[in-house]
């Protein structure tokens, strides 16, 4: 098997060269300069160079030097080290070091992307096969999925795709709350509808309840009716998620946790740790002493196990039984109060609480055209998928960080215009496919085996597109590390924008300029490779024509 091609991103290369210079200065040993990773970034303004670093300002106070003077000292040492690709280095107030590069590195980048293909580009092993579980959606099987559930489905699934590309061993899990009071209330709601009675005060309502009630043929027992309905609802949930191209590796039952001995084992272990006490017939976890805001009820006075206890036993099962190295929970904003409790419980079991990450998603509001159907007081995810399409349902939740409340304009999402981000990105891919199809008619382009001269790519639009492509691997690593797949969306929009500008200003297929055509087709292919990978991470399809 051939090893995949290697390429060092320019910011990493410059950071390494700066670190070498810092080590050579033999600064105060307490700084541990050999462990410093200078931050090198693309500046906001092109006039400030291709890359810039603030390392002189970061270190100057610690070594008692003027940041501007220290930056000049670093500049002189960097110039003496004969850096590849660097034409000019400048220092600007209050101590930034700016690098102006030649374009050779961009041509090497293009060759790397072409050699890597979709299989290897931006595929980094930062995860080192770390076993990581992502639990998301996990909606109670008491009703159809709604649009809010779909929001977390898109996030969780794309995060899993992202982490897998970065070398993590990822398991996607749906926790099925298939026991307890909500199942009894579901059954009570089904029987009430079946017998033309008022729904219970905290019961479930909507067309789906009426439809289930019509089909129920079991005994007049609320638990039997609830269990029957929950199983049907869960099957519908699975089908809806499959339609959204979201597949789970595991569907884990709360009933298994409660009836399989996990709660009993958890209670015994917490008791041995002196964290259990009883009050007014209920059993409590003394979680306040572990950092929670108050102690939590685990078993009610009527003997019912609380959600909190089930979740604690479930997380003990994740870490101690199934041996996940890290766990990521994706919760809605209404579950914010669970964070401190679960962190406290994990800590009690002797697990580093940083290995439990909880992502809290905020509310989504819909504006624009009215949805055609509603169930109860929510918009069904299945109806939303039918109305706006799978790709839009996948991408729109990934436009912003999930911890930001979102207002979604349905009219815009359904439009086929460049204002629609889904259409904008997919149209870039379709344009590339159209170019490649037409290129096959140019025999001179595809029949010649001569080496392609990428140095012919000197137009501003060509260089700008290459620079965007050059940022892809860093964006993937940053998005994976920060658990923010919306950063992939932002980069993909930038890539699509740069490609559309290139397409408008640069004639790709020109029979009078065969060498330039070959070079531009190489750039188009590199764009296609990175665009395909980014859209695959986001779970968006790749249309060859639109």
Tell me which residue of 128, 113, 121 sits closest to 163, measured CA to CA.
128
pLDDT of residue 370: 52
Residue 447 clears pLDDT 80, i.e. is over it: no
Report d(CA 4, CA 74) in Å as an integer: 35
Residue spans in the chain of domains classed CATH 1.10.730.10: 106-125+417-538
pLDDT of residue 373: 37
Summarize pLDDT for 388-404 with one digit per residue, the tens.
Answer: 999 999 999 999 999 98
Report d(CA 358, CA 339) in Å as an integer: 7
Omega before 94 within 30 of 0, i.e. cis: yes
Tell me which residue of 151, 322, 169, 147 sits closest to 252, measured CA to CA.
322
Band of residue 375 on the pLDDT scale cut at 50, 70, 90:
very low
Dihedral, CA of residue 350, residue 358, residue 300 and residue 149, to nearest 10: -150
Mean pLDDT of 47-73: 94
Residues 6+ apart with CB under 8 A from 13: 84
pTM above 0.85, yes or no: yes
Residue spans in the chain of domains classed CATH 3.30.1360.70: 10-101
């709660």: which residue's tokens? 263
Residue 331 clears pLDDT 80, i.e. is over it: yes
Summarize pLDDT for 199-208 with one digit per residue, the tens.
Answer: 898 899 888 9
Summarize pLDDT for 120-134 with one digit per residue, the tens.
Answer: 999 989 999 999 999
Residue 374 clears pLDDT 60, i.e. is over it: no
Summarize pLDDT for 244-272 with one digit per residue, the tens.
Answer: 999 999 999 998 898 888 999 999 999 99
Alpha helices in 144-288 (DSSP H): 147-165, 181-194, 207-215, 222-243, 254-259, 262-272
pLDDT of residue 379: 84
CATH class of 136-254+362-414: alpha beta
Query: Which percentage of the chain shows pLDDT scores above 70?
Result: 95
pLDDT of residue 310: 92
Report d(CA 325, CA 130) in Å as an integer: 6
Hey, what CATH topology would domain 10-101 get?
Answer: Gyrase A; domain 2 (3.30.1360)
Band of residue 34 on the pLDDT scale cut at 50, 70, 90:
low
Q: Cα–Cα distances in Å, from 489 out to 366, 474, 495?
A: 20, 14, 10
CB atoms within 10 A of CB 497: 17
Report d(CA 539, CA 164) in Å as an integer: 13
Hey, what CATH topology would domain 106-125+417-538 get?
Answer: Isoleucyl-tRNA Synthetase; Domain 1 (1.10.730)
Work out the mean pLDDT of the chain and round it to a whole number. 91
pLDDT of residue 15: 95
Mean pLDDT of 211-222: 95
Residue spans in the chain of domains classed CATH 3.40.50.620: 136-254+362-414
CA angle 91, 93, 94 (to 5 degrees): 115
Residue 417 clears pLDDT 80, i.e. is over it: no
Tell me which residue of 334, 339, 227 sits closest to 287, measured CA to CA.
339
Report d(CA 419, CA 428) in Å as an integer: 13
Residue 450 clears pLDDT 80, i.e. is over it: no
Alpha-carbon Rg for the chain in angstroms: 28
Structure tokens, 14: 């410059």
Tell me which residue of 159, 186, 209, 217 sits closest to 398, measured CA to CA.
159
Between 28 and 73, the more confident residue is: 73
Query: Which percentage of the chain shows pLDDT scores above 90?
Result: 75
pLDDT of residue 1: 40
Residue 46: is it exposed, middle or buried by C-beta count within 10 angstroms (0-12/13-18/19+)?
exposed
Structure tokens, 539: 């779970």
Residue 225 clears pLDDT 60, i.e. is over it: yes
């Amino acid at each position: 098997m051939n090893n995949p091609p290697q390429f060092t991103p320019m910011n990493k290369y410059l950071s390494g060269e700066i670190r070498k210079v810092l080590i050579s200065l033999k600064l105060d040993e307490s700084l541990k300069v050999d462990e410093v990773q200078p931050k090198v970034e693309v500046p906001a303004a092109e006039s400030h160079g291709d890359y810039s670093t603030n390392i002189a300002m970061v270190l100057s106070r610690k070594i008692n030097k003027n940041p501007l003077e220290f930056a000049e000292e670093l500049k002189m040492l960097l110039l003496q080290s004969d850096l590849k690709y660097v034409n000019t280095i400048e220092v600007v107030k209050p101590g930034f070091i700016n690098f102006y590069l030649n374009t050779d590195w961009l041509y090497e980048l293009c060759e790397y992307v072409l050699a890597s293909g979709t299989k290897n580009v931006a595929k980094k092993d930062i995860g080192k096969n770390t076993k990581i579980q992502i639990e998301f959606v996990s909606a109670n099987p008491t009703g159809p999925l709604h649009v809010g559930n779909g929001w977390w489905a898109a996030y969780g699934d794309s995060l899993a795709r992202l982490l897998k590309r970065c070398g993590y061993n990822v398991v996607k899990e749906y926790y099925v709350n298939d026991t307890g009071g909500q199942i009894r209330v579901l059954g009570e709601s089904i029987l009430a509808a079946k017998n033309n009675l008022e729904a219970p005060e905290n019961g479930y309502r909507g067309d789906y309840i009426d439809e289930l009630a019509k089909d129920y043929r079991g005994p007049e027992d609320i638990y039997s009716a609830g269990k029957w309905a929950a199983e049907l609802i869960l099957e519908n949930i699975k089908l809806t998620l499959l339609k959204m191209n979201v597949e789970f590796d595991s569907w884990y039952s709360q009933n298994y946790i409660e009836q399989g001995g996990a709660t009993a084992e958890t209670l015994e272990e917490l008791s041995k740790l002196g964290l259990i006490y009883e009050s007014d017939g209920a059993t409590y976890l003394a979680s306040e002493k572990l950092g929670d805001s108050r102690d939590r009820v685990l078993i009610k006075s009527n003997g019912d196990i609380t959600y909190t206890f089930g979740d604690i036993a479930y997380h003990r099962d994740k870490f101690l039984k199934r041996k996940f190295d890290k766990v990521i929970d994706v919760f809605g904003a209404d579950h914010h109060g669970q964070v401190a409790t679960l962190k406290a419980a994990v800590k009690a079991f002797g697990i580093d609480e940083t290995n439990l990450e909880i992502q809290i998603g905020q509310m989504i509001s819909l504006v624009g055209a009215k949805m055609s159907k509603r169930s109860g007081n929510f918009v069904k995810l299945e109806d939303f998928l039918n109305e706006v399409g799978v790709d839009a349902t996948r991408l729109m939740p990934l436009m912003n960080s999930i911890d930001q409340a979102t207002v979604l304009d349905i009219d815009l999402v359904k439009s086929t215009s460049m204002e629609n981000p889904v259409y904008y990105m997919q149209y870039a891919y379709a344009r590339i496919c159209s170019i490649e199809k037409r290129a096959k008619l140019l025999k001179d382009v595809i029949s010649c085996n001569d080496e392609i001269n990428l140095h012919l790519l000197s137009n501003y639009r060509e260089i700008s597109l290459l620079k965007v492509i050059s940022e892809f691997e860093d964006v993937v690593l940053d998005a994976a590390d920060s658990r923010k797949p919306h950063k992939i969306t932002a980069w993909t929009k930038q890539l699509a924008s740069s490609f559309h500008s290139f397409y408008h200003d640069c004639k790709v297929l020109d029979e009078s300029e065969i060498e330039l055509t070959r070079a531009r087709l190489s750039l188009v292919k590199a764009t296609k490779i990175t665009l395909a990978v980014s859209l695959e991470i986001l779970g968006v399809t790749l249309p060859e024509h639109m």
